[in-house]
Amino acid sequence: MMKELMILLFIHTASAVIHSLKCNLMISSGVPNAPEYLIMVNVDDVLSAYYDTTTKTPEPRQHWVTEMMETDSVLWEMFTARGPIYQYYLAEETKNFYQQPRGVHVIQQITGCEWDDETEKMNGFTTFGYNGEDFIAFDKDSETWIALTPEAELAKQDLKTRTEEYKLFHTVTCPSILKNCLKHAESFLNRKVLPSVSLLQTTPSSPVSCHATGFYPNKAMMFWRKDGEEIHEGVVHRDMLLNQDGSFQFHIDLNISSVTPEDWRRYDCVFQLSGNKEEVVIGLKKSLISTNWGKSKMKNNEVNTTPIVVAVVVLLVLIVIGAIGFTVYKKKKEKPLTSSPETDCELSERLNSQTIQDPAHSVDTT
């Protein structure tokens, strides 16, 4: 019954697609090594264009955007011309967000629209955040600004004068831009890419994770089977994540504590992508599992032998000095040590966990 329910849900979500245009803007002060202003535009949650005051150069982030710059330059010119100027509009309408004159201030605006290509329904949205917390939101039903904290009551008064502009952006400007972008990005957004699937394990006693990355679109299923039948006991599904290139990744864990070595061959992991008949199947085999605990052991052994090697070298040096009967003294100016950059563990690299995180860019609402 559970499997049939999952299949019905899978078919439904595969048929209805929610397209979106999301503009993320941020202005900040008191934050070291951060741009004062940045904007990012995401089409269907994929970073498509970016600008900040450090580079001062609007950047296309997808091939279809680069092509659009040549064939339909109006949208790109709108972004390059109005995007940087919007910094001053954003600063002006959020001037009363600041709760203290000094210190760190980060103001974020997320605005855009979503379109259901099945029902043709379009929804607009705008939310402001202050120092990492939701601050003010536009309610599309009542067409009013909602203060999400007591401190936001005063600040929302400045936004009331621009209510009509935001309504126009939500209902006319944004939908028009989104549909235009979808026209140019059609081949990119309609592509179907199967993932790379691998088995991962952090320790000998931890669950085995079946990890799929690089697939598109995000309408996909992955499950563990035993003797060809889907299983749910001992299986944990993890959230799907967006990769930097616009593809997706996710993984499901299988608790193998009660699985005997003889029964491993009865298990496999299956990945299914909507609209693609081909399945990706990987069997539960120790030879296919990537780990990092084996290499950690080897590194520990290497560390343990270091004092012995150092002691032998020091002893040989002392013997040589005693044999020749003199000492050499040389002054050296020590140079400060530079620390090596931090790196993720090998397992994390295999998981290709990321997050996105270029901040998002926006189109002016005026």
Query: Per-residue DSSP letters for 263-274?
Result: GGGGEEEEEEET
* CATH code, 83: 3.30.500.10
pLDDT, position 298:
36
Classify residue 307: in a domain, yes or no.
Answer: no
Same domain assignment for residues 62 and 208 = no
Q: Where are the alpha helices (DSSP H) in 186-292?
A: 186-189
SS3 category, 26: strand
pLDDT, position 245:
82
SS3 category, 124: strand
Same domain assignment for residues 65 and 184 = yes
Same domain assignment for residues 128 and 30 = yes
Question: What parts of the chain have a pLDDT lower than 70?
Answer: 1-16, 99-101, 293-366
Cis, bond preceding 195 (omega within 30 deg of 0): no
In angstroms, rounded to a whole number, what is the distance separating the alpha carbons of residues 54 and 65? 22
Classify residue 123: in a domain, yes or no.
Answer: yes
* CATH code, 210: 2.60.40.10
Q: Which two tokens stand for residue 208?
A: 């085995």
Same domain assignment for residues 242 and 99 = no
pLDDT, position 293:
67
**Tens of pLDDT along 94-144?**
888 876 667 888 999 999 999 998 888 999 999 999 999 999 999 988 999
pLDDT, position 294:
57
Put the strands of the sheet holding 46-52 in their side by side order: 59-60, 46-52, 37-43, 18-29, 105-116, 122-130, 133-139, 144-147
pLDDT, position 285:
95
In angstroms, rounded to a whole number, what is the distance separating the alpha carbons of residues 363 and 83? 6
Of 235, 267, 291, which closes a domain?
Answer: 291
What residue ranges in 265-329 does DSSP mark as E strands? Answer: 267-273, 279-283, 289-291
Same domain assignment for residues 79 and 132 = yes
Same domain assignment for residues 24 and 136 = yes
Contact between 268 and 252 under an 8 Å Cβ cutoff? The reply is no
Classify residue 8: in a domain, yes or no.
Answer: no
Of 169, 189, 209, which closes a domain?
Answer: 189
Rounded to the nearest 5°, which phi and psi values hold at 70? -90, -40
Tally of domains within the chain: 2
Same domain assignment for residues 83 and 26 = yes
Same domain assignment for residues 169 and 239 = no
Classify residue 314: in a domain, yes or no.
Answer: no
Same domain assignment for residues 52 and 182 = yes
Same domain assignment for residues 61 and 166 = yes
Q: Which two tokens stand for residue 363?
A: 């189109």
In angstroms, rounded to a whole number, what is the distance separating the alpha carbons of residues 254 and 40? 38
Classify residue 64: in a domain, yes or no.
Answer: yes
In angstroms, rounded to a whole number, what is the distance separating the alpha carbons of residues 205 and 360? 41
Same domain assignment for residues 33 and 120 = yes
Classify residue 347: in a domain, yes or no.
Answer: no
Q: What is the pTM of this model?
A: 0.64
Of 189, 223, 257, which closes a domain?
Answer: 189
**Tens of pLDDT along 230-261?**
999 999 999 999 888 889 999 999 999 999 99
pLDDT, position 223:
97
Classify residue 303: in a domain, yes or no.
Answer: no
Classify residue 335: in a domain, yes or no.
Answer: no
pLDDT, position 13:
40
Same domain assignment for residues 96 and 210 = no
Q: Which two tokens stand for residue 279?
A: 């399945």
Q: Which domain holds residue 112?
A: 14-189
